[in-house]
Each structure stands twice: as C-alpha cells, then as structure tokens.
Amino acid sequence: MKDISKLEEILKVNFKHPELLKQALTHRSYLNEHPSLKMEHNERLEFLGDAVLELIVTENLYENYPNNPEGEMTNWRAALVNAKMLSEIGKELELDDFLFLSRGEAKDKNQKARGYIIANAMEAVIGAIYLDLGWDTAKKFIIKNILVKLPDILKHKLYIDAKSRFQEMAQDKVGVTPSYQVISESGPDHNKKFIIGVYLEEELVAKGEGTSKQEAQMDAAEKGLVKKNW
C-alpha cells in the first residue's frame, strides 16, 4: 500500500483528513478494478481544484501586474495552468509514484496519456488542499509550486504557442517563414495519426506527430525550437 504520508512530506502539506489526498490520487480505473472500496475517484476534486487554481493565479496576476492588459495576462495564465505545465510540476512533486491506477493504466507506456492523468491529479490535489485546509493554504501551495514558474515563462516567452514562437524566431534569425508538410497519415478516421515536418525553405528541421494536423504541427514546432536551440 502506498504511504500517503511520504507525499505529504514532499508537498509540505499536512492534511487533517489524509483520505482526501488519497482520493485526489485515485483514478477512475482503479475503482473499476476495486469495486468493493468505499471511496470516490478524483474527478470531482479535479473539477474543484481547476477552479481554485485558476482564481488564485488570476488574483495573483491581477495584483502583481497592474499595467499589463487582460489579453496578455490571459496568455500567461494559460501557460501556467495548462496540462503540460501541471504534468511537469506533478512529476517534480513525484505524484506519479503515488497514483492509484488500474493494472492496465499503470503499465501503459503512453507518456502523453500519463501526463494528462498526472495533470488531472495535480488539480485534484489542489482541490483536496482547498477543501481540507482552506484558501490560504491552497494559495501558499500554488504560489510555491506553480506561480514560481512565471518568471521562466516570461523570460522564454513560453506563453506564446510553439508555432507562433518558431515563426517569430525563424523570421528573426534566418529571415524565413516556416512551412509545414504532411509526411504521412495513417489509421482509421476516428483514430488518425499524422506526421508533419516543419521546413525552413528546403531544410526539414523537425517532425511532429499527433492525432490532428494542428497537433502534429505544434509538436513539430516544439521540436524545431529545441533542435535550433531557439
């Protein structure tokens, strides 16, 4: 059995009701496999935590950046609370080691799917902290673990999506507007897989994949930024 108290030490949060933290880490698939357990999965806590996170981040941006327009702060907030960022923070906090998953989910090597599970658990943990210990503790946790990422986001313009950033850098560095071409397309209509290349004139910079052309282009742009060290 996983020792939740070890996670409390990592999170630096002492729950009055540790069962709430356990619920926050419990994926629906685990309860499907253990129907006799008298507990809920984490989706309701995730719903609550999502709202708490968004409001605390919004309040912080509103108070600390009085001269920045709403549209800009909206982009900053999106960069802080999106699934990719929450998944990265969840991994830093070792949430993955404490998740209650079905045997099938636990063995699944799909990093993207696991990333979403960790991001959802991160929101659920915030919901559990808020429910158990209140607004101030939730706020302290979010400032310490999530809002701390804002300076890096602003420094590297991570609030601009990868395609826009790659285009901006390509035009600035080499005077070329990137283009995207489908390299391959496979799978049935309901489960397509696209591989798309991002090019600077004739140069294939990187390949991206996704279940839609847009997702594959974004993946290619992200890999292109890394490849070019932009």
In the sheet that holds 193-200, the strands lie side by side as 179-186, 193-200, 203-210
Label residue 92 exposed, middle or buried (CB < 10 Å: 0-12, 13-18, 19+): exposed
Hey, what amino acid is at 79?
A: A
pLDDT at 131: 98
pLDDT at 195: 97
pLDDT at 96: 94
Class at the top of the CATH hierarchy for domain 162-227: alpha beta
Q: Which of 46, 50, 219, 222 is catalytic?
A: 50
pLDDT at 109: 81
Q: Which of 43, 46, 92, 123 is catalytic?
A: 123
| Known catalytic membership, residue 123 | yes
Domain ranges of the chain: 4-154, 162-227
Q: Which residues of the chain register pLDDT less than 50?
A: none
Residue 187: DSSP 8-state: S
pLDDT at 116: 94
| Known catalytic membership, residue 50 | yes
Q: Does residue 34 sit in helix, strand or coil?
A: coil
CATH architecture of the domain with residue range 4-154: Orthogonal Bundle (1.10)
